[in-house]
Amino acid sequence: MPEARSSSRRAWLIGAAALCAGIRPAQAAGLVQRFGRPVDTPPQRLFAAGPPAGVLLACLAPDRLLGWPTPLPDAAKALLHSSVRGKPVLGRLAGRGSTVSLEALLALKPDLIVDAGSVDATYVSTAQRVAEQTGVPYLLVDGRLADSPAQLRELGALLGVGARGQALAAFADEALAEAAQVKGNGASRPSVYLARSADGLETASAGAINAEIIEAAGGRNVAATGRAGVARVSMEQVLGWSPDWVLTQDRNFHRVAQSDAVWRTLPAVREGRLLLAPDLPFGWLDGPPSVNRLLGVKWLAAQLRRGSAPGRAALAETIADAQRFHALFYGVSPSREAVQGWLDGRG
């Protein structure tokens, strides 16, 4: 397909030129920071430095992803396109400890390394060091949920898949616009507690990337832990916060909390405002904090807007949204029964 390759290269050059115009010495273009030598052709061999980048690349350019940073369960693989389902686990460069050596990285002969998510000094330092030591170009993508449309458009253009980036960004625009309506309807924001882990006593504070979805969907994160990011809290703290909603992605916690005497002292749990978000192939809330959260923000915003358990029509809409998102982003559309099972905690 010489014509297709030529067209792809022309699209990449146009997109890259537009993004690179006026780049400052720090090599930042919008939400993308660039390290190392420039890439003069559309990169074909992409290494994901961490799980958020793995999801992002699997959605944008699945055939070019070299492998996964961390293992995926079989249930997750079954919901991904065949072009990425069997990719090997290569290890991660970023985050809590690298599990791949630079020698192993070079043996893979990547054209480009991509990381996404937090862009603090630690991640910038890692990107700079790896680019200098390996000679492989490195992109660091700001992974804030609110910027998902721009992430998809900018990275899609840089990778030479601008049309796909635009298509995925259109869904992101839709999801965030619907959530903005919830925030802008004049009503007070419902308070939400994010229950992580099997006992529900791990949470993420307001502003943490792991809990961005609460604010994005129009809620108010009650967790005042006194520290940024993820932290352990006590049951007494949760009872004191008395959230309107309890939100979790842990099926075990969701099952246990419904009958636990202590958790049922919370009106949210006792009155059926304990929400379980699906986690396959990636979490609707987190796990990892990447574009997989776009479906979650759509679902959560609709739930907070309704203020009660969804009726038949609303449930059908959620299922249709999930099928459309999965087909567009992951290349596989789950059955209605499968999505219903996830929402019920049977997945």
CATH of 188-344, one of 3.40.50.150, 3.40.30.110, 3.40.190.10, 3.40.50.1980: 3.40.50.1980
pLDDT bucket at 207, cuts 50 / 70 / 90: confident
pLDDT bucket at 4, cuts 50 / 70 / 90: very low
92-146 confidence digits (pLDDT tens): 997 677 899 999 999 999 999 999 998 889 899 999 999 999 999 999 999 999 9
Closest CA to 223 of 251, 214, 269: 214
Give the residue-averaged pLDDT of 17-39: 62
Coil vs helix vs strand at 32: strand
Q: Per CATH, which fold does 2-172 belong to? A: Rossmann fold (3.40.50)
Residue whose structure tokens are 């059955």? 335
The yes-or-no verdict on residue 32 having pLDDT over 50 is yes
Closest CA to 277 of 265, 259, 295: 295
Give domain limits for the chain: 2-172, 188-344
Closest CA to 43 of 165, 164, 160, 166: 160
The yes-or-no verdict on residue 26 having pLDDT over 50 is no
Which range is least confidently modeled, 9-23, 142-156, 167-181, 234-248?
Answer: 9-23
Give dist(CA 292, CA 212) in Å, integer: 13
Give dist(CA 243, CA 236) in Å, integer: 13
Give the residue-averaged pLDDT of 192-220: 93
pLDDT bucket at 10, cuts 50 / 70 / 90: very low
Region of 340 on the Ramachandran plot (φ > 0 left; ψ -120 to 50 alpha; else beta): alpha
- Mean of all residue pLDDT scores within the chain: 88
Q: What is the pLDDT of residue 20?
A: 38
pLDDT bucket at 18, cuts 50 / 70 / 90: very low
pTM for this predicted structure: 0.88
Give the residue-averaged pLDDT of 33-47: 93
The tokens describing 109, both together, are 């002969």
Q: What is the pLDDT of residue 143?
A: 93
pLDDT bucket at 30, cuts 50 / 70 / 90: confident
DSSP 225: -
The yes-or-no verdict on residue 3 having pLDDT over 90 is no
280-315 confidence digits (pLDDT tens): 999 999 999 999 999 999 999 988 887 765 666 678
DSSP 65: B
- Same topology, domains 2-172 and 188-344? Answer is yes
The tokens describing 333, both together, are 């559309």
Give dist(CA 334, CA 57) in Å, integer: 21
CB 229 within 8 A of CB 208: yes
